[in-house]
Amino acid sequence: QVQLVESGGGLVQAGGSLRLSCAASESIFSISAMGWYRQAPGKQRDLVALGTRGGNIDYADSVKGRFTISRDNAKNTLYLQMNSLKPEDTAIYYCYAKQGPWIRWGQGTQVTVSS
């Protein structure tokens, strides 16, 4: 079973940038969908960005134009480049993968944006 490990979170000032990484324990080439979700304190887990193997990408309206999802199949890694960060982007960010009937989540990485 593929395991996902996120990294790259941290504390950043508003307007700054971070790049999150999600390293998979095995090849992601055949994984049909991979993406990022986030969960702020007291709120539900929401989609941030989701990409399919076929090249379709969806972004939450709140991050369009600021965040970019990408995947490097050779490195078995998914990325989320986050620019122009805002305090409301503060949350735990989770990596997500789906292939057929199974879904996998990473353990999450904290992103805190100070004003």
- pLDDT, one tens digit per residue, over 58-73 is 999 999 999 999 999 9
Per-position DSSP letters for the chain, written without gaps between them: ---EEEE--EEEETT--EEEEEEESS--TT-SEEEEEEE-TTS-EEEEEEEETTS-EEE-GGGTTTEEEEEETTTTEEEEEE-S--GGG-EEEEEEEEETTEEEE---EEEEEE-
Q: What percent of the chain has pLDDT over 90?
A: 94
